[in-house]
């Protein structure tokens, strides 16, 4: 993009950067960034740089915006609810972890080891909600490759980390059962950060919009009317697994 660079904008930015570095060398206590910002504003105002191709912020509203909930469509709620469910899953699972392991563990030692595993594995599963939501959003735009690549890479990373953390290969610090769960947590966290880069790029088609994260329960109800019948199969499968493993 160098041929498209505006010379005045480049000169103003370079001058501000040089001023910050100079003031830092002269006296670190001087707020160089603040001084550079003030002088840049004065230069843009006095010399009318906005009319000569230098991009400025423009007019800033002096009043607070009108309070209200954002207008979020049903399609947006699909991904917002996923994050909310993930947070609820994390909180409830951690709260009931000890009760669950004590009830299903064959003996206190088994229950203790299961508790150590779930301490790290539950957060990994909670992060999966974000990973699945971002992958689904990208697939909705026709971009299937990122989700497939990230999912495959996280599995490989988990396989590589598991023996290192479980047996202490190369570190001399075997973590045992907890190491298996930590390897899953690290792999999923890497996958979430990796997928998030597809949403924070300036050229990205999809972006994170925090103002749309406010729950809208009427839309949640509409989604549940569609999703509950389709998800009943997984609910029955969960009941089946609990009964079998109990």
Residue-by-residue pLDDT tens, the chain, 246 positions: 456 667 777 777 888 888 888 888 888 778 878 888 888 777 777 777 666 666 665 555 555 556 555 565 555 555 556 666 767 777 887 788 888 788 877 888 888 888 888 888 989 988 888 888 888 888 888 888 888 899 999 999 999 999 999 999 888 888 999 999 999 999 999 999 999 998 888 888 888 877 777 777 887 788 778 878 777 877 788 888 878 876
Structure tokens at 208: 């994170």
| CA 57 to each of CA 16, 91, 123, 133: distance values in angstroms, whole numbers, following the listed order | 17, 42, 41, 34
SS3 content of the chain, % helix, strand, coil (to 5): 75, 0, 25
**CA 123 to CA 95: how far, in whole Å?**
12
Structure tokens at 192: 């979430």
Residues in the chain: 246
**CA 109 to CA 124: how far, in whole Å?**
23
Residue 105: CB atoms within 10 A of its CB come to 15
**CA 176 to CA 164: how far, in whole Å?**
10
């Amino acid at each position: 993009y160098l041929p498209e660079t505006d010379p005045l904008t480049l000169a103003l930015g370079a001058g501000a950067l040089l001023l910050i570095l100079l003031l830092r060398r002269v006296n670190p206590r001087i707020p160089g960034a603040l001084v550079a910002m003030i002088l840049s504003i004065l230069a843009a105002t006095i010399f009318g740089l906005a009319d000569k191709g230098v991009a400025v912020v423009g007019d800033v509203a002096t009043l607070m915006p009108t309070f209200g909930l954002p207008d979020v469509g049903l399609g947006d709620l699909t991904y917002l609810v996923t994050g909310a469910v993930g947070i609820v899953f994390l909180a409830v699972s951690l709260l009931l972890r000890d009760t669950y392991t004590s009830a299903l563990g064959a003996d206190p030692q088994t229950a203790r080891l299961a508790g150590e595993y779930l301490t790290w594995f539950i957060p990994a599963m909670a992060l999966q909600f974000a990973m699945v939501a971002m992958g689904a959003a990208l697939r909705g735009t026709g971009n299937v490759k990122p989700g497939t690549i990230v999912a495959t890479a996280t599995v490989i990373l988990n396989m590589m980390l598991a023996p290192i953390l479980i047996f202490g290969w190369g570190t001399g610090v075997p973590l045992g059962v907890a190491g298996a769960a930590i390897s899953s947590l690290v792999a999923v966290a890497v996958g979430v950060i990796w997928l998030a880069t597809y949403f924070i790029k300036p050229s990205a088609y999809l972006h994170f919009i925090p103002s749309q994260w406010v729950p809208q329960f009427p839309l949640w109800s509409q989604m549940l009317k569609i999703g509950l019948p389709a998800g009943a199969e997984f609910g029955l499968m969960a009941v089946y697994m609990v009964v079998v493993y109990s």
